[in-house]
């Protein structure tokens, strides 16, 4: 029996990078994946790849802006109508832009970063978590929130992102405590430097890549699959006695 047989997994930010890699892992392992994101064409590309590999009906697309409560409420209604509940939720959507120091950062940049990296996790967890909570006959359900190495160690010129990702870790612990009576586990995963669509531009800079390699114990940049494998573990029954934890997947960056 595969890890995600007969399970429904909702993944935000599923159109590329870690979200795409995770969706493929879960589908290959028997699960049905609901791909959520803002760009429908990207989501369809991922869904089509999954359908070609594992068959029709194992990947559906739902376009939504996870910073908007009305979009999340609509998503939850679709999930309830189609599946009754869900078994796995992965809050993967997020990102960093407009790098600058605190004193030059605009309020708008700060708010946008909190919205996409933290508010989205709150909104999606609240709505879909309630759906999971209401259907309490299910066992071994899980929520995994994607945080960041930057939540452990503040990055240069990304105070808005670092603050939001640190908050995601503590929010995950609070949510784990609240959902534990319903046998819903909540953990976070904190990726270090990994090659994804969002990081590809920065990783074309050889000096930047060499600095990462020098300051990472494993002396290399990670891959989306390596991060997704850890998220899949946290979402699976293999992690059935783990809740309220953060899994740091940084190649040993904090060791150096």
The per-residue pLDDT for range 170-183, each reduced to its tens digit, is 999 999 999 999 99
What pTM does this model have? 0.96
> 111 in a domain, yes or no?
yes
Q: Is the pLDDT of residue 228 over 80?
A: yes
The per-residue pLDDT for range 67-83, each reduced to its tens digit, is 999 999 999 999 999 99
> 131 in a domain, yes or no?
yes
Query: Which stretches of 170-211 are assigned E, i.e. beta strand?
Result: 184-191, 194-195
Report d(CA 20, CA 26) in Å as an integer.
Answer: 10
In terms of C-beta density within 10 A (0-12 exposed, 13-18 middle, 19 or more buried), how is residue 207 classed? exposed
Per-residue burial over 142-178, b = 16 or more CB atoms within 10 Å of its CB, e = otherwise: bbbbbbbbbbbeeeebbbbbbbbbbbbbebbbebbee
> 128 in a domain, yes or no?
yes
According to the model, what pLDDT value does residue 156 have? 86
**What average pLDDT does the structure give for the chain?**
95
Domain that holds residue 158: 8-255
According to the model, what pLDDT value does residue 99 have? 87
Report d(CA 145, CA 190) in Å as an integer.
Answer: 9
> 3 in a domain, yes or no?
no
Catalytic residue of the set 161, 177, 182, 241: 161
Report CA-CA distances (Å) from 242 to 66, 112, 143, 210: 26, 32, 11, 35
> 1 in a domain, yes or no?
no
Report CA-CA distances (Å) from 81 to 123, 130, 234: 19, 15, 27
Average pLDDT over residues 118-126: 98
> 62 in a domain, yes or no?
yes
> 132 in a domain, yes or no?
yes
The CATH number assigned to the domain holding 29 equals: 3.40.50.720
> 2 in a domain, yes or no?
no
**What is the number of domains present in the chain?**
1
Catalytic site includes residue 83: no
Length of the chain measured in residues: 256
């Amino acid at each position: 029996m595969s890890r995600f047989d007969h399970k429904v997994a909702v993944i935000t930010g599923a159109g590329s990078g870690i979200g795409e890699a995770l969706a493929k892992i879960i589908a290959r392992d028997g699960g049905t994946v609901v791909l959520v994101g803002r760009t429908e064409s990207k989501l369809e590309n991922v869904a089509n790849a999954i359908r070609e590999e594992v068959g029709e009906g194992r990947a559906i697309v739902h376009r939504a802006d996870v910073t908007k409560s009305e979009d999340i409420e609509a998503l939850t209604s679709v999930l309830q109508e189609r599946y009754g509940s869900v078994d796995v939720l992965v809050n993967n959507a997020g990102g960093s832009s407009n790098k600058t120091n605190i004193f030059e950062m605009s309020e708008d940049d700060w708010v946008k970063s909190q919205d996409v990296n933290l508010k989205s996790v709150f909104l999606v967890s609240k709505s879909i978590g309630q759906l999971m909570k209401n259907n309490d006959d299910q066992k071994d359900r899980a929520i995994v929130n994607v945080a960041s190495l930057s939540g452990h160690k503040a990055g240069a010129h990304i105070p808005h992102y670092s603050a939001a990702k640190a908050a995601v870790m503590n929010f995950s612990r609070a949510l784990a405590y609240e959902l534990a009576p319903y046998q819903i586990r909540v953990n976070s995963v904190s990726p270090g430097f990994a090659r994804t669509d969002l990081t590809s531009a920065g990783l074309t800079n050889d000096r930047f890549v060499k600095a990462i390699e020098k300051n990472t114990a494993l002396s290399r940049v990670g891959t989306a699959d390596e991060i997704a494998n850890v998220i899949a573990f946290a979402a699976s029954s293999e992690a059935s006695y783990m809740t309220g934890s953060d899994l740091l997947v940084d190649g040993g960056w904090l060791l150096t």
